[in-house]
Amino acid sequence: MFLTKLLELFIGTMAGIVTGVFPGLHVNLIIPFVSAYPFLLGIAVSHTFFDFIPSLLVGVPDESSSIASLPGHRLVISGHGYEAFLLSIIGGLFGSLSLILIIPLFLLFNIPIKSIVLPALLILLLSMIMSQKKRVIALFMFCLSASLGFVIDPFSYGVLPSYFTGLFGVPTLVYSLLSDSKIPKQKIPKQLNVNFHVSLLSGLGGLLSGLLPGVTSSVSAVLFDNLFKLSDKDKVLLVGGINTVYVITSILAIWLVGSPRSGIAMAVSNVGIDVIPLLFAAVAISAFLALSVGTKLFLFFSKISTLHLNSVALFIVLSIMFVLYPKQLPLFLAASSLGLLFYSLGVSRNLGLGFIILPILSTYLCGIL
């Protein structure tokens, strides 16, 4: 019986390679077709390791716009993309391990996480706007994104994937296709300094996003980045950790706070205590596969012409939107326009998180009042 679970887990982690590498594919799409919970755990965890490959390599801008681009892309442009991929694996592995320290402390001190959400989000909001050079434009763009979040429920089915794909994915791909960007040869690092303490931050960030309704992994990542002013490499380490830890804590939330916090968590919500060692086994298998298979995939894709890579990625993303989320097409188009506006105005697209931050803030404020 336990060998069967391990086999299902392993097959799930292999499936996570496919969902991770294809941009726009989400693990929640698989849930209706699979009931074996070890498989679902494996695919959910593995996806978080392998989706760094398209995140890093697809939509790489040319050097002139690198400042406005994402940290991962900046590292790829400077030839440190493979280093970023290794850091994302370490982030996922050690971020998950940090939970072994963090969760007992959380239970022992009965930390009232809900009470720190409101001040944390206010600090995040302030720091996001003050960190921009064009503060008035930044505030305007934040409010524009937030207004969308009040019109459309951000947490309905398909809304967040459509919004984020439109906000971050489409402008990146479009600008990359229009420019003459090339992925430079990726260096194999001779020296690799890893700030393992960032893994503790990612454990905390993943715990926050896994337990608290509305606080997504991207909100946690931006919060810690703004608080601690991390380097690009540490940002990749942080995000790698938070994404994987979020999967684990959203499932453990069934036990820790009494309700599941993700699609996968809802699918496995009636299982036994073996979910805990299965999750950590999935992390171990995924880290190993990311290092072996993922490295080969990364280096292979980094040699493909960006025109072909980005054209195929844009085609896949648009197809997924049309086929799987047709009702969210207006939102997707609005988010894409917003993303292009952010790009052309030269302010950080992280401000687009106003779409979820302001609605969450108002929910918590109403709860207090």
Binding site for other proteins (CB under 8 A): 1-2, 5-6, 82-83, 86, 89-90, 93-94, 97, 188-192, 194, 254-255, 258, 268-278, 280-281, 283-285, 287-288, 291
Q: Which is nearer to other proteins, 66 or 269 (CB)?
A: 269
Closest distance between other proteins and the C-beta of residue 194, in Å? 7
Q: How far is the CB of 202 from other proteins (least distance, A)?
A: 15
The least distance separating other proteins from the CB of residue 8, rounded to whole angstroms, comes to 12
Q: Which C-beta is closer to other proteins: that of 59 or that of 263?
A: 263
- Residue 215 or residue 285: which is nearer to other proteins going by CB? 285
CB nearer other proteins, residue 104 or residue 189: 189
Interacting residues of 64 by C-beta distance below 8 A, sequence separation 6+: 179
List the alpha helices (DSSP H) in 109-134: 113-130
| Closer residue to other proteins in complex, CB, 60/97 | 97
The least CB distance from residue 255 to other proteins, in Å, is 5
Q: Using the minimum distance from each CB to other proteins, give the nearer residue, 95 or 154.
A: 95
Contact of 162 with 58, CB cutoff 8 Å: no
SS3 for 80?
coil
* Minimum CB distance to other proteins, residue 111 (Å): 17
Q: At closest approach, how far in Å is the CB of 83 from other proteins? A: 8
Token readout for 237 is 């380490």
